[in-house]
A and B are shown apart, each in its own frame.
Chain A
Amino acid sequence: MAGPTRGFLGRRRERDPRLPPGQYDAGRDWPVLTAEPTPRIAPETWSITVDGRVESPTTWTWDEAHRLPRSEYRGDIHCVTTWSKFDTWFAGVSVDTLLEAARPTADAHFVMATSKTGYTTNLPLEDVTGGKAWVVWEYDGGPLPVEHGGPVRLLVPHLYFWKSAKWVTRLTLLQRDQPGFWEQNGYHDRGDPWREQRYQGD
């Protein structure tokens, strides 16, 4: 690393231990980042499918998904564009619950999440199992706002937020890893904020 930048003092002297390296606290803001026009999806037309390397490919409608055991996440989220947001609250269903029904086969090692818009992002299976990932439709006590992926998005809070695909409609289990949308466009394959896995080669 180069030396100090002339004249730069930095403002935030007390670094919150919840902040991964290179991140700042966005406070109450929740910046909107997107690569495509925001789709308006009526909940009654939404569904989520788990397919690929599973014994029983399964699709849930909005009502069916809401009848699954409810699961909540309370904690922090981190975006590769360097903001982090503390103490967020989301509710929906644990990805574990969906996988339990679809029963991944022994050769399933990765997941490709796909959005209604065609956006994709890839994840190792172990990053979405064991209580680490959700499919969520509530934020902060209300419906998930459309610009943040409403009616339903994936939530994988321990990875950079581009992995938490907005408007998610499909989780496809794969034997081998394949890069998703941003991963093909220069971003890291896994995206662990604590290891600053922002771009390819990090």
Chain B
Amino acid sequence: MTGWRTATVAEVRRPVPRAVGLRLDVPGRVRHLAGQHYVVRLTAEDGYTAQRSYSVASAPGDPLVELFVERLDDGEVSTFLADVVEPGDTLEVRGPIGGWFVWDCTHPALLVGGGSGVVPLVAMLRAARELGRTDLLRIAVSTRTLAELPYADELLAAGAVVATTREGHGVRPPGRLTAADLVPLWEPGQTAYVCGSAGFADSAGRLLVELGYPATDVRVETFGASG
């Protein structure tokens, strides 16, 4: 595990409403695995600190570390990162962290994401693209509307099944991911990576297990409001 480093904000992107993508130059960074996260620590003048974890969206080969931050209206850290941070600012970061929700780019994987839970899955997709192994990935994601889906263009270009719960999308009526969406995506030897809110991850994980997907082949990452 690495200690704290002082990263410089190279770019600030606004990929979807109410979110920010921070592209960070991390000196001496350790190459991450797709699916890992970083901790960001903020320090006030009086020494007060606050830290939160954010998924990495960038591929391991990207020279910058891209963190996706969903802005929570009552958040303390996410509002600062979304509203105040500008290119040239420095931020204390620690990472990469996590050895479970990671994909090694060699085994088939089923990626199931809800809302901003797609972010670590985007890192997996980008890692697969770097290695020319997108054939290993099957992707299904759920979002309220397509406009709110982070990295929607990349996910659609990769052939992701996209369920939109608040609007129709293509031939799909509004609705959640279903068994009919997931069954055709199964491949032998697959590991499933499920990421989203606790409610999404619980229902998606349960759906997979009820369909007969071995629970031991399902890795879950959840997040709650922790702005």
Contacts and interface: CB of A to CB of B under 8 A. Distances in A.
Whether A and B are associated in the same complex: the answer reads yes
A147 B49 CA distance: 30
Contact of A37 (B42, B53, B97, B206): B206
Nearest to B89: A6
Interface string A167-202: 000000000000001101110000000000001111
A1 B99 contact: no
B198 A147 contact: yes
Interface string A9-40: 11111010000001010100101111111110
A81 to B, nearest CB: 6
Contacts of A61: none
A106 interface: no
Nearest to A188: B1
A65 B120 CA distance: 41
B224 A3 contact: no
Q: Which 10 A-B pairs have the closest CB atoms?
A: A37-B205, A185-B99, A31-B224, A32-B198, A10-B44, A199-B1, A10-B48, A8-B42, A5-B42, A200-B1
Contact of B76 (A24, A117, A181, A185): A24
Interface of A: 1-13, 15, 22, 24, 26, 29, 31-39, 81-83, 117-118, 147, 181-182, 184-186, 199-202
A37 to B, nearest CB: 3
B179 interface: no
A35 B92 contact: no
Given A2-B6, A10-B44, A35-B219, A82 B52 contact: yes
16 contacts: A2-B4, A2-B92, A4-B45, A5-B44, A5-B80, A6-B89, A7-B85, A15-B48, A33-B224, A35-B219, A35-B220, A37-B202, A37-B205, A81-B226, A181-B100, A199-B1
B220 A13 contact: no
Given A1-B43, A22-B49, A82-B51, 10 more contacts: A2-B43, A31-B198, A34-B222, A37-B215, A37-B220, A38-B206, A185-B99, A186-B98, A199-B1, A199-B97
Contacts of A182: 100
B92 A147 contact: no
Interface string B206-227: 1011000001101111111110
A116 to B, nearest CB: 10
A201 B51 CA distance: 18
B209 A37 contact: yes
A58 B46 CA distance: 54
A35 B53 CA distance: 16
B218 to A, nearest CB: 5
B149 interface: no
Nearest to B52: A82
Given A29-B225, A186-B1, A186-B97, A38 B43 contact: no
Contacts of B101: 35
Contact of A81 (B53, B100, B205): B53
A7 B48 CA distance: 13
Contact of A13 (B3, B48, B205): B48
B100 to A, nearest CB: 5
A146 to B, nearest CB: 9
B43 A5 contact: yes
Contact of A83 (B91, B208, B219, B226): B226
Nearest to A33: B222
B201 interface: yes
Given A29-B225, A117-B215, A8 B99 contact: no
Contacts of B226: 24, 26, 31, 81-83
A122 to B, nearest CB: 16
A3 B43 contact: yes
Given A22-B51, A35-B220, A199-B1, A4 B43 contact: yes
Contacts of A201: 1, 3
B180 interface: no
